[in-house]
Structure 1
């Protein structure tokens, strides 16, 4: 059954319709739409999660992708800052969404920095079977000659 649509409701008009950076280096004013202002207002309702979460009967969010099978080599160039130190990004924050609808499961992922094969392994560990559909980004394309031995197989 499809999710019911909710009416869009903007509670009030903002006091200001634009803003500019503190340091006027770009000399640019940013004008926001009502939808953008409403998004900022609703940020207080954002809930940070850790681990796997069943959001409702149809939605399941998971992370914890630790496999490194055919790990995208481009990730080696990406970093993050932890405790003030720049380190290679481990992408533990990457999340995947499973939507269950009409007896089918849709797996949605963003950039798949953990590697789609590792994401699929984690999915199978949770559900014990294969997905029905996958919608995701793939960062697995490389120039000739840059493939690992595992990827050549």
Structure 2
């Protein structure tokens, strides 16, 4: 467990949270995490166990000794991609797909913007008011019959 701090900081950055929120997430006191991040204290085995318990996708080998990828599921994906690269063209990155989606209006947006008419409201059944009851904060009430 030598020099875990850079990997913990990388994990914090990847998660997009600060030390206090991370401490809350893994179930340790905020000062414990603050002291670890400021290099005042070293990471304890308990903290490592809590990180791995809360984030099961984080590779224990990566966290403990810096071997492999941060996430467990990345290794099979990378190996499969290397095997498939010779046989198929790679898929575009997810970021490109997201930007393409932002540029194209959805069907709902097109339908709403293309039609100038308002859909007709359902006709209400013939109703008549029969009774109104007003309740007051002191427990009293008034009733009006029509």
Query: TM-score, normalized by length of structure 1?
Result: 0.20
Comparing both structures, which one devotes a greater share of its residues to helix? 2
Larger C-alpha radius of gyration, 1 or 2?
Answer: 2
Comparing both structures, which one devotes a greater share of its residues to strand? 1
Query: TM-score, normalized by length of structure 2?
Result: 0.21
